[in-house]
Amino acid sequence: MFEVKSIPAFNDNYIWCIVTPSNTAYVVDPGTSEPVIKFIEDNNLTLTGILITHHHHDHIGGINDLQKYAGNQLVVYGPDSKYISEITCKVYEADRFKLKNIEEDVEVEVLEIPGHTLDHIAYMINGHLFCGDTLFSAGCGRIFEGTANQMYSALQKLILLPASTLVYPAHEYTLSNLKFAIEVDEQNEHLNEYILKCEQLRKSNIPTLPTTIATEIAINPFLRSNDKVISEKLMFQFPESPQQDAVSRFATLRKWKDNF
C-alpha cells in the first residue's frame, strides 16, 4: 500500500517519507526542506502532505519552504499548537482521517502523547507508528514541558499498540541509548543481542529504525520501570529517591539518563 523511506537530516534526524505506488509522498517532521526536495525530485514524487508531531524547530523548520515548493496542494497536519503557524489541519486525540491523493484508503489515527512537549502527538498509520521524540529505540524523549507522569502515561499508551507495530522515531539515538540501557539492565539477554545487531547496522551506515513495539517492550528500560531487576538497580543507585511506584521509578530513570 505504501513504503516508508528515511531522509537523513542534520546530525541524527530522520525525516520519514511515506511513498505510495502512484508516487504521492507525505513527509513526517521536516526540520529542513533541502533534503526533502532532493529526495522528492530524485524519485519523481509529488509532495502532497506533511505530518507534524510537535513544535521543536528540528521538526518544523522546513515547513514554510516546502509549502512554497509544493503550493496549494500541500496539506499540513499537526497538533493545536501556538508555535506552529503553518498547520492547515489541526488534529486531536482519537481523530481519524484519510490521507488525500492516495489511491487506496489509508487511515491515520492520532494519539496525544504529551511529555517531551505539551503539544506532542503521534500518528498510527496501518501498523506504522510515527512518534517523533517520545519513544526512541531503547530510550524516550527528555521531559522539556510536561511531567514524568505525562511521559510515563504516553509511553504506556504506545505499548498497548499491537506488538508488531513498526515504530519510527525521529532520531538515530539507538547506540547512545543502548549504552545507558545496558548500564541499567545488564542481565537482559534480549538487550545484549540487540546491541550486537544495532552495532552491525550502524557500521554499515544502515538505520537501526524502525523498531517494533515488541522489541521495545523487551529491551527499553523506560518501558520496564516495574521490572524487578531495574527497580533494584534504581534503589541501589539512588537510595534517597522515591521508588514507591512505577512513575517515580520512571522519573528517577529519566533523571539518571539526563546526566548519564
pLDDT tens per residue across span 88-138 = 999 999 999 998 767 667 899 999 999 999 999 999 999 999 999 999 999
Determine the angle formed by the axes of helices 228-237 and 246-258, rounding to 10 degrees.
Answer: 60
* Host H or E run for residue 69: helix 63-70
Amino acid of residue 19: V
CATH assignment of the domain containing 96? 3.60.15.10
Q: pTM above 0.95?
A: yes
Name which of 217, 222, 59 is nearest 143 in CA terms.
222
- The number of domains in the chain is 1
CA distance 54 to 116: 9
CA distance 41 to 60: 20
| Cβ atoms within 10 Å, residue 24 | 19
- List, for residues 133-188, the tens digit of each pLDDT value: 999 999 999 999 999 999 999 999 999 999 999 999 999 999 999 999 999 999 99
- Domain of residue 141 covers 3-258
Q: How distant, in Å, are the alpha carbons of 89, 145, 158, 171 from that of 74?
A: 11, 30, 29, 25
Query: pLDDT grade, residue 70 (50/70/90)?
Result: very high
Give the chain's length.
Answer: 260
